[in-house]
Amino acid sequence: MLEGGLIGCGFFAINQLHGWREVEGAGISAICDKDERRLAEVGDAFGIQARYTDAAQMLAAESLDFVDIATTVSSHRSLVELAASERVHVICQKPLAESLDDARAMVRAVERTGKVFMVHENFRWQSAIRTVINVVREGTIGTPFFCRASFRSGYDVYSGQPYLAEDERFIIQDLGIHVLDIARALMGDVARLSATTQRINQRIKGEDVATILLSHDSGATSIVDCSYASRRKVETFPETLLEIDGELGSLRLDAGYQLSIQSAEKEQRLNVEPPLLDWAERPWHNIQESVVAIQQDFASCVAGGRQPETSGEDNLGTLALVEAAYISAREGRTVILSEL
Ligand code: NAD
Ligand code: 89V
């Protein structure tokens, strides 16, 4: 059994702690949060007695195989480097870092230890998205040449995560990063990108709408569009809707987890709604189920001595798209990814 230490016991860490209880071969035996009140609440709720307000002290005192970093982005680099210096496996929440330079340094630091380094980039582990990825990778619709990945919502994310209203960078860095990662998982790496951003809600500091055009290395095109300012009768939070055309067919993942696949041979309609786990609640159940899937993959990678699909190294490609989108929107130009 792999023993883990969770750093950061905030809003999302609750899902991670529930998730670890379901993972085979790994669990959390110690927790850390610099906020003592939060540490006590979460320790009591999950029956974890080993509690620390300092991650270095936790790593020194406990015999851990891995750390799960669930703090917000500004602390990710120092915590990942601390974990590397203590030679433990690492899973770290997205966004991995505030800059590409930081992220590259973090990847190099863990690489030198030979340990597993996963980014908790869970959207591509959502079961509906995973089904679509498998259909595309199996060649059912032939080589894809167009993808639209769309996340449009009016859901109040600020009440659970107040820091999202305070950052100069909002929707691309927090949410767009997931949708850009889905586009990469489906369509491959990106050669160039252009983006526009808007701020509709004037009470927040960053952008809450982004529209991004991607030209992939393969020649395919994707549109990634995100909004937290969309007032819609059917509120789809937190679903990513997909539309993909391939040389042999097409598929759509529509609202309510309805997947339709058209290929030369057949037309299929599938309900790919994720199960509601006993600790989960709608509409978050989609994200909550993906937490179990990604954490199980982490445990399997450690046991099997392999790097995960959403490794630190892989995530540099997604983080580069985030950086490129901000540059493009600010400077009003197309950004060539190889120049970053
Ligand atoms: P939060 O602010 O609610 O929680 C962060 C916690 O970390 C706080 O309790 C804080 O006291 C603690 N902390 C900060 N720095 C620390 C340090 N150096 N040592 C110990 N504790 C420290 O934030 P959140 O909403 O839970 O978000 C955490 C991360 O999870 C963010 O990176 C966010 O983007 C990500 N997130 C991911 C998803 C997803 O679906 N993958 C969803 C929500 C949030
Ligand atoms: O996934 C996230 O990081 C969350 C949310 C889905 C609400 O955007 O912040």
pLDDT tens track, the chain, 340 positions: 999 999 999 999 999 999 999 999 999 999 999 999 999 999 999 999 999 999 999 999 999 999 999 999 999 999 999 999 999 999 999 999 999 999 999 999 999 999 999 999 999 999 999 999 999 999 999 999 999 999 999 999 999 999 999 999 999 999 999 999 999 999 999 999 999 999 999 999 999 999 999 999 999 999 999 999 999 989 999 999 999 999 999 999 999 999 999 998 889 999 999 999 999 999 999 999 999 999 999 999 999 999 999 999 999 999 999 999 999 999 999 999 999 9
User: Cβ distance 309 to 298 under 8 Å?
Assistant: no
Residue 160 CB–ligand 2 contact under 6 Å = no
The predicted model scores a pTM of 0.98
Shortest-distance Cα residue to atom 8 of ligand 2: 175
β-sheet with 26-32: strand ranges across? 50-52, 26-32, 2-7, 66-69, 89-93, 117-120
Using the mean position of ligand 1's atoms as its centre, give its distance from the Cα of residue 297 in Å. 21
The token pair that represents 260 in the structure block: 């339709």
Ligand 1, residue 290: give the atom nearest the CA: 40
Number of Cβ atoms within 10 Å of the Cβ of 111: 15
Using the mean position of ligand 2's atoms as its centre, give its distance from the Cα of residue 12 in Å. 9
Using the mean position of ligand 1's atoms as its centre, give its distance from the Cα of residue 111 in Å. 24
Probe ligand 1: pick from 17, 59, 93, max atoms within 8 Å of CB?
93
CA end-to-end span of the chain: 41
Could you say which ligand is closest to the alpha carbon of residue 177? 2
Residue 174 CB–ligand 2 contact under 6 Å = yes
Separation CA 82–CA 85 (nearest Å): 5
Query: What pLDDT score does 271 carry?
Result: 98
Using the mean position of ligand 2's atoms as its centre, give its distance from the Cα of residue 173 in Å. 10
Query: What pLDDT score does 170 carry?
Result: 98
Using the mean position of ligand 2's atoms as its centre, give its distance from the Cα of residue 74 in Å. 16
- Which contacts qualify for 166-170: CB closer than 8 Å, 24 or more apart? 166/204, 166/205, 167/205, 167/206, 168/205, 168/206, 169/206, 169/207, 169/326, 170/204, 170/205, 170/206, 170/207, 170/208, 170/228
Residue 175 CB–ligand 2 contact under 6 Å = yes
Residue 186 CB–ligand 2 contact under 6 Å = no
Residue 71 CB–ligand 1 contact under 6 Å = yes
Residue 157 CB–ligand 2 contact under 6 Å = yes
Shortest-distance Cα residue to atom 38 of ligand 1: 12
Shortest-distance Cα residue to atom 5 of ligand 2: 175
